[in-house]
């Protein structure tokens, strides 16, 4: 058992991260390949199989050392059947049998899960969750993803769509349109895209000045990182945007905390790299809206695994399957 590896895969729209991981969750080797979306996504699983075989050959390891492949994919997944229900940017048609396709291509037992759920499992196993059996993870990236773990298992929901924290409504009337078709979702406010949108709205007022405004004039655009960086320097406009973002995020997390009272709520994804300026501000809003027993027991934390959360979560799926 000691030398056995699990292949953890984090499938993204442009790149696919792959890692060989031990049963204890140590990453032995990790690399990335380009995701080939052409031909209705027909090459995706074959390319992953090829990449694994080539890497094993390169490392002088036998295929028998790999006991399974666990994958996170960007879309709702029917956990029992391994069917990915719908994806926008991978070329697959709706209800694509991803698990079967992966098993056929790799000749390995496969488990497939939604990518935000995989990141949550990774953080639970080896990251900020520190083994907590009740944990909520929010991924703040281009969009906002979520994963809810109760008693050590991901909450799937009846259609694989549980934990879609990004699509909780925070602005019931007059909110911005979301990629999901609704308006006023958390994702329109707390994603990198949402933060930039809010900042641009402020910057388009005639009266504004300051560091963020200067960056906007110089570059013709701004990033979410610019907003955090200038807020850290005391720019009033950036601070106003940050307060708006974290008010809504803390509000949602408090309500989730009031529902589940998990040990922790972990903030991950690119936006979470802002660090303590984000965490402190979200904590303030969380404390305001959390039920007192929740406020005293549910801790907010920044994710610690970065880009490795997905592949580790994928590996955990196989480990969990073997232990059953
Ligand atoms: Zn939405």
Domains of the chain: 5-115 (3.30.420.40), 128-304 (3.30.420.40)
Measured in Å, residue 182 CA sits from the centre of ligand 1 at 5
Measured in Å, residue 89 CA sits from the centre of ligand 1 at 17
Provide CB contacts within 8 A for 6, sequence distance 6+.
20, 21, 22, 23, 66, 67, 68, 69, 70, 314, 315, 318, 319
Specify the pLDDT at position 130.
87
Euclidean distance between CA atoms 99 and 77, whole angstroms: 10
Specify the pLDDT at position 221.
95
Identify the three-state secondary structure at position 210: coil
Measured in Å, residue 74 CA sits from the centre of ligand 1 at 15
Residues in a beta bridge with 267: 138, 302
Measured in Å, residue 164 CA sits from the centre of ligand 1 at 9
Cβ neighbours around 324 below 10 Å, total: 4
Specify the pLDDT at position 324.
67
303, 204, 288: which is closest to 253 by C-alpha?
A: 288
68 vs 23, 65, 111, CA distance in Å? Answer: 11, 9, 8
CB-based contact 44:67 (threshold 8 Å): no
CA torsion, ordered 46, 67, 9, 59, to nearest 10 deg: -80
Euclidean distance between CA atoms 94 and 86, whole angstroms: 5
Measured in Å, residue 31 CA sits from the centre of ligand 1 at 32
Q: At what angle do helices 224-232 and 236-260 cross, to 10 degrees?
A: 110
- What are the residues whose beta carbon lies below 5 Å from ligand 1 (ion)? 167, 178, 180, 182, 185
Specify the pLDDT at position 160.
78
Euclidean distance between CA atoms 41 and 98, whole angstroms: 11
CA 108 to chain centre: 25
Provide CB contacts within 8 A for 269, sequence distance 6+.
138, 139, 140, 141, 144, 145, 303
Euclidean distance between CA atoms 114 and 108, whole angstroms: 19
pTM summary value: 0.89
b (16+ CB within 10 A) / e for 85-106: eebeebbbeeebbbbebbbebb
Specify the pLDDT at position 2.
55
Task: Please give the average pLDDT of every successive group of 10 residues along the chain, which has 324 residues.
Answer: 86 93 96 92 94 96 96 89 83 91 97 93 94 94 93 88 93 94 96 97 87 95 97 96 98 98 96 97 98 97 95 96 81
Euclidean distance between CA atoms 197 and 16, whole angstroms: 28
72, 66, 137: which is closest to 108 by C-alpha?
A: 66
Measured in Å, residue 180 CA sits from the centre of ligand 1 at 4
Measured in Å, residue 141 CA sits from the centre of ligand 1 at 14
Measured in Å, residue 68 CA sits from the centre of ligand 1 at 34
């Amino acid at each position: 058992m000691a030398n056995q590896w699990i292949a953890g895969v984090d499938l993204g729209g442009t790149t696919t991260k792959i890692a060989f991981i031990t049963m204890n969750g140590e990453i032995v080797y990790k690399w990335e390949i380009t995701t080939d979306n052409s031909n209705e996504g027909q090459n995706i699983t074959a390319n992953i199989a090829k990449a694994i075989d080539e890497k094993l050959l390169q490392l002088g390891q036998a295929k028998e050392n790999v006991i399974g492949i666990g994958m996170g994919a960007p879309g709702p997944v029917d956990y029992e059947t391994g069917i990915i229900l719908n994806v926008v940017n991978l070329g697959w048609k709706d209800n694509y049998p991803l698990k079967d396709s992966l098993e056929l291509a790799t000749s390995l037992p496969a488990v497939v899960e939604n990518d935000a759920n995989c990141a949550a499992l990774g953080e639970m196993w080896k990251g900020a969750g520190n083994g907590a059996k009740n944990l909520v993870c929010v991924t703040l990236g281009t969009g906002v993803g979520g994963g809810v773990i109760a008693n050590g298992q991901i909450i799937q929901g009846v259609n694989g769509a549980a934990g879609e924290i990004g699509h909780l409504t925070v602005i019931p009337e007059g909110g911005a349109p979301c990629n999901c078709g609704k308006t006023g979702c958390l994702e329109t406010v707390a994603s990198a895209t949402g933060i930039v949108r809010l900042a641009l709205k402020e910057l388009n007022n005639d009266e504004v000045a300051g560091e963020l405004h200067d960056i906007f004039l110089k570059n013709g655009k701004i990033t979410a990182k610019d907003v955090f960086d200038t807020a850290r320097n005391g720019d009033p406009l950036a601070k106003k945007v940050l307060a708006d973002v974290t008010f809504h995020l803390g509000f949602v997390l408090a309500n989730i905390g009031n529902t589940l009272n998990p040990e922790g709520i972990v903030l991950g994804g690119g936006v979470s790299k802002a660090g303590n300026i984000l965490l402190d501000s979200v904590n303030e809003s969380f404390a305001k809206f959390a039920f007192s027993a929740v406020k005293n027991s549910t801790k907010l934390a920044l994710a610690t695994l970065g880009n490795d959360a997905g592949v580790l979560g994928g590996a955990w799926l196989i480990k969990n399957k073997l232990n059953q």
